[in-house]
Amino acid sequence: MARKMRFSSLSVFAVSGRRLFFQVLFAAAAAAAAAAVVNSERSDTRFLLTDNSTGGQKHSEEYCAMYNICGARSDGKVLNCPLGSPSVTPDELLSEKIQSLCPTITGNVCCTEAQFNTLRTQVQQAIPFLVGCPACLRNFLNLFCELTCSPNQSQFINVTSISKAKGNLTVDGIDFYITDAFGEGMFESCKEVKFGTMNTRAIEFIGAGAKNFREWYAFIGRRAGLGVPGSPYSINFLSGVPESSGMKPMNVSTYSCGDTSLGCSCGDCPNSAVCSSSASPAPPKKSSCSVRIGSIKAKCVEVAVAILYVVLVSVFLGWGFFYKKRKTSPVSRTKPLVNVPNGGIIRRVNSRKDENIPMQMLEDVPQITNGVQLSIVQGYMSKFYRRYGTWVARNPVLVLCSSVGIVLVLCLGLVRFQVETRPEKLWVGPGSRAAKEKQFFDTHLSPFYRIEQLIIATIPDTHGKAPSIVTDSSINLLFDIQKKVDAIRANYSGSMVSLTDICLKPLGNDCATQSILQYFKMDPQNYDSFGGLDHVEYCFQHYTSAETCSSAFKAPLEPSTALGGFSGNNYLEASAFIVTYPVNNEIDKEGNGTKRAVAWEKAFIQLAKDELLPLVQSRNLTLSFSSESSVEEELKRESTADAITILISYLVMFAYISLTLGDTSRLSTCYISSKVLLGLSGVMLVMLSVLASVGFFSAVGMKSTLIIMEVIPFLVLAVGVDNMCILVHAVKRQQVELPIEGRISNALVEVGPSITLASLSEVLAFAVGSFIPMPACRVFSMFAALAVLLDFLLQVTAFVALIVFDFLRAEGNRVDCFPCVKVSGSNGESEQGSHQQKPGLLARYMKEIHAPILNIWGVKLLVICAFGAFTLASIALCSRIEPGLEQQIVLPRDSYLQGYFNNISDYLKIGPPLYFVVQNYNFSSESRQTNQLCSISQCDSNSLLNEIARASLVPESSYIAKPAASWLDDFLVWLSPEAFGCCRKFANGGYCPPDDQPPCCSSTGGSCGLSSVCQDCTTCFRHSDLQNDRPSTAQFKEKLPWFLSALPSADCAKAGNGTYTGNVELKGFEDGIIHASAFRTYHTPLNKQADYVNSMRAAREFSSRMSESLQIEIFPYAVYYTFFEQYLNIWKTAMINLAIAIGAVFVVCLVITCSFWTSAIILLVLTMIVVDLLGIMALLNIQLNALSVVNLVMSVGIAVEFCVHITHAFLVTSGDRNQRMKEALTTMGASVFSGITLTKLVGVLVLCFSRTEVFVVYYFKMYLALVLLGFLHGLVFLPVLLSMFGPPSRCVLIEKQEDRPSTSSQF
């Protein structure tokens, strides 16, 4: 199965806007960039600014608490002057600038132009995060506008602490009096705003995940240490103002995110009135119907079945009681002479006193003989077998050589034999929707990356508590491991392949390795210099913001992607390191890129086994590991791991078959009467039929599968051995004095129709399975149908010829296995003269013990009730069978992947990536599809991205963990004039990067944003250039490539290079249509097979609903969908397969026997066997998948062998139902028991020693259950059913006329 059960949520590449933007805002509100950098000395003076002696207006309107710049800290963060002064009137240009950013501030201001420019430069880092929700952005800007430039600043700002910077006093701490209403309004408007690039909320970046406005204030006001991002002075947010101070808290009006004038999208404001009214109701949680009876809780279906059983048993027992009571007078058993209707065919059976004719009364009426009225089809079959048997007995060499020769010719196709091991070719049909969607995604966007992974974990203590792995020693161990991984050099075609040659590099030359070592830039020398464990703890909280926490590949690393075994955000409790190496993938699985990656992966696994595992275990830790190719490699190893076990199983069956065909009644002649050579020859014919089937399909270009090689020989042996036993036993029952031609002819007439009926039923049952879309089931059905057909043909040709040779050998006193050796004396067979051979032990058991017990009326009632109870219970239990195939079962028990999959379930905190792919998105101005897809301001409330965000609120039913990362939202924000640091252009119209990127920012580390190269850059658009804040078709086409090639940075975190490069197909987009684009989110953690199936079903239902609603082509895609699609309809597939197989058997039986009664009984028993096998699966927790479906279909074929022969023998035997049941068990019961039951039991029991769990579960357990159920139904339930409700006998009494030829001469 697919190995995509483990996914590391790669931090979104290219989100470099993690840097200082939200902390520096606080410094920007207080300082200007032009200040000289001087060393500051902290003053111990702490005071409250009060009225001075002159003005008395320090805490009054139109007065400033801080104005201008007086210095800077040693880390360069500028500081305000603490001296109060009256507000000033700005010039017209500055006033317009301030109004554009701070519309609430009019008239005088308390900031210089340098302060405002610094404020504007710094807030541009926050704008891309919030511009999608104008209300939130306006509230957020108002907070810092009022702090920096408000003319009434002194009314709510109080300097409480000062410092000295080279003799100048600077602000070191302030009280900011602000109303709770403003804080509450700002937080409520921003708390749900999404930052799509990271699939998370913007508050995680600009508020450290604050849960309320007080936590947000605390984060904003924290004074940062030197070199650490944050405010250069402390800000103490207070709501209560001292009465004597004359101050008033800042209380600028806030905007609700639901405000129509500054409306946010429903994804950013789900509680707005518009969104609440349009919100789609969450899908109802499916709950199974249950009934509580006392302390027992049972499903409704179980209660219904129990009630049904009580009713049926009551009716049946009542009928049985009255039937037995009424049957007080003996029923006449004398049958009148029967006129045979026209068209009927009578087969005469010579009247003789032996065990084959129970009606001994015929001896007293010599002119009456016993015959069998056959259907037209059976009549012609008997006629054919009569003549054919005589011809084979006379020409055994010709028949043997010609039949074996034809089969050997078919075997020549084995030269083109190939085994299909690729999971996508086994379980995914060519018309599969998932396969088509994967092909579309890989072709139009980009294939999902390959994953190599290590999981290092601590060992739980005696109480089950695992200690933390976040320690100095463990991190140093991780550096040692990384060094060894980096040193891997794999040889591919003479060239050496390293990790850097194949790894995913989204933003430069560094691999996007997911490891906490990224907090040290993957460099062990940085461990101590960065602060060691303290730095790790700091980065757990500031991974999105701190420059020192940025990864080597220039993107933030979310701790949950590199840690496991923790709760909530308690990363220090983590008990496991998860190291993920994303590797580039290719569409062509046979290309050089894929082969290079596979070569490195093999070296990686070998290193993990040989060096890393002992190294980790020496530190009392555990290690599990995997690569992209691990599952396929282990499956190949699994195919040979149990080769010896399977071979022993077949050898045991061969030995038993060879022995069971012979006679052991006399030890002195056993070396002559035994039939070991005949049994071995028969087994060889069975294997030849399998090889011929495989050879034929190989010749026409069809690949075989492991299922075929493991299951079909088992199936064909079951069918073939049964036929061999029936044929040999039928010949033995013939009179010895008859010539060999007569014995062979009579035996084929006796059992040929039932063998033909069973074999044709099986062939047709398997053949109809070739129409199933699942490749594994379809190929199995085709191979099995041809193998069973060839086996049947070899049985009635080559094996009959071998029987002739073997009986001639025995009559010639030649030793078995050494036919050239002849001994003197007579064999046991000739000594019996005209008598038949003595019945064997099994035949005597069936006649003298088994049949008499089943003829007891009470036993019959008990059998019917017991089997009915189990069948109804199995129907109820079927609801407990879950679809899926656990990977641990498929792999060998000693596979290194066993521990890996267990650890994935325990430690991984995020599910597989989920993409919603939009086809043929029309972005032209005339189309509304842009607003139907996006989730920022002015987007439709029921847009795709808004609905995804809503679905993420109910992850238990939607299986969607986060809102989607939207390239469209980020592109529209990037274009927005408010995001003035993003989309910029030079005077010549070319793209101008942000000020902190080259060429605007000097590569030598000079001051960014002051370069003359970019000083004339302007925003791409003014509001007047856009149409309702949306670009025109031409603007969209021109700027989208800019966006996708723009690098993200602190000044513009919304750029698309790396993040969205593979999410938009630009090919052919010039016509206004983007043919393929994807929006990425994540599934919730999926731990069980049912989770994978249900998540796929939920995603498809969601996409279907959105496609219908928006009239846009949308489908979901995740890498595991192709492998789990089969389970969406696995029950339907199984039921169709079984219905067709059982129906085919019914049709064949009806055509051949012309008896609806007989066919219905066979249909009933087959159905009960299959239903009971499903019940056993539920009891043994066996899942429903391709393997179990194949086994269920195969069970129909084997069950036919248990039913058809007994039923046919019952049909053509004379007497009442009890006598006919006894006769059928005597003649056929022994053959069925020895030919199928015992043969399979001895072979199945060997499989329990298999090293692979899949053989134990799906072959040992299911085969054992099948054999036992077949035996019980075929030799216990079916005889009882026939003895009570069986069809009338086809035997008739005919008047023997001496003057007309015998009817038997027709045959």
- DSSP calls for 257-284: TT-STTPPPTTT-TTSHHHHHHPPPPPP
Helix 1121-1128 vs helix 1130-1153: angle between axes, to the nearest 10 degrees?
50
Residue 467 is predicted with a pLDDT of: 93
The contacts of residue 1036 (CB under 8 Å, 6+ apart) are: 923, 924
What is the strand order of the sheet 991-992 is part of? Answer: 991-992, 984-985, 1018-1019
Cβ pair 147, 950 in contact under 8 A: no
Task: Give the end-to-end CA distance of the chain in Å, rounded to a whole number.
Answer: 56
pLDDT at 999 > cutoff 50: yes
The first and second tokens of residue 415, run together, are 């030269």
Is the bond preceding residue 582 a cis peptide, omega within 30 degrees?
no
Q: How far is the CA of 633 from the CAs of 451, 589, 599, 891, in angstroms?
A: 15, 15, 12, 10
Backbone phi and psi for residue 576, each to the nearest 5 degrees, phi listed first: -150, 140
- The reported pLDDT for the residue numbered 260 is 67
- Residue whose C-alpha is closest to residue 147's, from 111, 100, 118: 111
Phi, then psi, of 420 in degrees rounded to 5? -90, 120
Residue 1119 DSSP code: T
- Helical segments of 768-896, H only: 775-794, 800-811, 841-845, 851-854, 857-877, 887-890
The more confident residue out of 1260 and 626 is 626
- Tell how far CA 440 is from the center of its chain: 20
Confidence of residue 277 (pLDDT cuts 50, 70, 90): low
Of 204, 224, 205, nearest to 74 by C-alpha is: 224
What residue type is 1108 in one-letter code?
A: E
Tokens of 606: 């070998």
pLDDT of residue 264: 76
Residue in 1220, 1205, 1225 with CA at minimum distance from that of residue 1287? 1220
Query: 993-1002, 1009-1018, 1102-1111 — which is least confidently predicted?
Result: 1009-1018
Whole-number mean pLDDT of the chain? 80
Q: Does the pLDDT of residue 828 top 50, yes or no?
A: no
Query: Which pLDDT value is given to residue 666?
Result: 56
Pick the closest to residue 767 from 779, 780, 757, 782 (CA basis): 782
pLDDT of residue 1114: 96
Residues of the chain by 3-state class (helix, strand, coil), percent to 5: 50, 10, 35
Strands 168-177 and 234-238: parallel
Amino acid letter, residue 157: I
Alpha carbon distance 1279, 1272 (integer Å): 10
Of the ranges 149-153, 268-272, 1010-1014, which one carries the lowest mean pLDDT score?
Answer: 1010-1014
Q: How far apart are CA 768 and CA 770, in angstroms?
A: 5
b/e per residue, 1002-1016, with b = 16+ CB within 10 A? Answer: eeeeeebbeeeebee
What mean pLDDT is predicted for residues 799-812?
88
Yes or no: say if 81 and 171 are a contact pair by the CB < 8 Å rule: yes
> 1052 in helix, strand or coil?
coil
Residue with token string 């409480």 = 160
Selection from 27, 227, 33, 26 nearest residue 995 by Cα: 33
CB 28 within 8 A of CB 148: yes
What single-letter DSSP state applies at residue 1142? H
Q: Which residue has the higher pLDDT, 828 or 1213?
A: 1213
User: Which residues are registered as beta bridge partners of 369?
Assistant: 1294
Q: Give the Cβ contact number of residue 707 at 10 Å.
A: 19
CB atoms within 10 A of CB 93: 9
CA–CA separation, 767 vs 1145, rounded Å?
A: 11
Measuring CA to CA, which residue among 611, 580, 575 is closest to residue 471? 575
Q: What are phi and psi of 1024, to 5 degrees?
A: -70, -20
A 10 A CB-CB count for 467 gives 14
Angle formed at CA 284 by CA 278 and CA 287, multiple of 5 degrees? 175
The residues pairing with 349 across neighbouring beta strands, listed in sequence order, are: 370
DSSP string, 907-932: H--S--EEEEEEEEEE-STT--HHHH
Distance CA 643, CA 665 (A): 37
- Residue 600's pLDDT band (cuts 50, 70, 90): very high
Answer yes or no: are the C-beta atoms of 73 and 96 closer than 8 Å: no
Which tokens go with 78?
Answer: 């500028």
Nearest-10 crossing angle of helices 113-123, 92-101: 30
**Predicted local distance difference test score (pLDDT) of residue 1209:** 85
Q: Distances from the Cα of 1283 to the Cαs of 642, 750, 1219, in angstroms?
A: 45, 21, 8
Q: How far apart are CA 662 and CA 815, in angstroms?
A: 13
Render pLDDT for 878-937 as a digit per residue (tens, 0 to 9): 888 988 888 778 787 788 998 898 888 888 878 899 999 999 999 998 899 999 999 887
What confidence tier does 640 reach under pLDDT thresholds 50, 70, 90? low
pLDDT band at 1307 (very low <50, low <70, confident <90, very high): very low
d(CA 88, CA 90): 6
Percentage of residues in the chain having pLDDT higher than 90? 28
Looking at residues 448-470, what average pLDDT do you find? 91
pLDDT of the residue at 411:
93
Buried b (16+ CB within 10 A) or exposed e, 192-213: bbbbbbbbbbbbbbbbbebeeb
**Count of CA atoms in the C-beta half-sphere (13 A) of 1142:** 22
Buried (b) or exposed (e) across 1125-1159, using 16+ Cβ within 10 A? bbbbebeebbeebbebbbebbbebbbebbebeebb
Encoded tokens for 289? 């119907």
DSSP 402: H
- Give the pLDDT confidence score for residue 834 in this predicted structure: 42
| Strand, helix or coil for residue 650 | helix
Q: What is the mean pLDDT of residues 786-809?
A: 91
Contact 1229, 1275 (CB under 8 A): yes
The pLDDT assigned to 422 comes to 73
**Residue closest to 398 by CA, chosen among 798, 677, 791:** 798
Give me the pLDDT at residue 1140, please.
86
Q: Considering only CA atoms, which of 77, 883, 924, 797 is closest in space to residue 427?
A: 883
User: Where does the pLDDT of residue 287 fall: very low under 50, low under 70, confident under 90, or very high at 90 and above?
Assistant: low
For residue 98, what are its two tokens?
A: 């301030």
Count CB neighbours of 595 within 10 A. Answer: 16
Q: How confident is the model at residue 1160 (pLDDT cuts 50, 70, 90)?
A: very high
Mean pLDDT for 40-60 is: 45
Whether the per-residue pLDDT at 964 is higher than 70: the answer is yes
**φ and ψ at residue 696, rounded to 5 degrees:** -60, -50
Q: How confident is the model at residue 674 (pLDDT cuts 50, 70, 90)?
A: confident
Task: Quick: pLDDT tens for 1199-1218.
Answer: 888 888 888 888 888 888 88
Residue 1304 banded pLDDT, cuts 50, 70, 90: very low
**Helices and strands counted in the chain (H then E):** 49, 29
The DSSP code for 365 is -
Whether pLDDT at 364 is above 70: no
Q: How far apart are CA 462 and CA 456, in angstroms?
A: 19
Question: Dihedral of CA 567/572/578/584: which sign?
Answer: positive
pLDDT digits (tens, 9 = 90+) for 126-157: 777 787 788 888 899 899 899 889 999 999 99
Rg (C-alpha) for the chain, rounded Å, is 42
**What's residue 127's pLDDT?**
78
pTM here is: 0.76
Q: Is 3 a residue whose pLDDT tops 60?
A: no
